[in-house]
Chain A
Amino acid sequence: AQSVTQLDSQVPVFEEAPVELRCNYSSSVSVYLFWYVQYPNQGLQLLLKYLSGSTLVKGINGFEAEFNKSQTSFHLRKPSVHISDTAEYFCAVRTTSGTYKYIFGTGTRLKVLA
Chain B
Amino acid sequence: NAGVTQTPKFQVLKTGQSMTLQCAQDMNHEYMSWYRQDPGMGLRLIHYSVGAGITDQGEVPNGYNVSRSTTEDFPLRLLSAAPSQTSVYFCASSPREGQTNQPQHFGDGTRLSIL
Contacts and interface: CB of A to CB of B under 8 A. Distances in A.
Binding site secondary structure of chain B: strand
Interface in B6-52: 31, 33, 35, 40-45, 48, 50
Interface residues of B, number: 24
Interface string A97-109: 1001111111100
Interface residues of A, number: 24
B53 interface: no
B58 A101 contact: yes
A46 interface: yes
Interface stretch (A14-22, A37-45, A66-74, A76-84): A37-45
B50 A100 contact: yes
A9 interface: yes
Interface of B: 4, 31, 33, 35, 40-45, 48, 50, 58, 90, 92, 97, 100-101, 103-104, 106-109
Interface of A: 6, 9, 32, 34, 36, 41-46, 49, 51, 90, 92, 97, 100-107
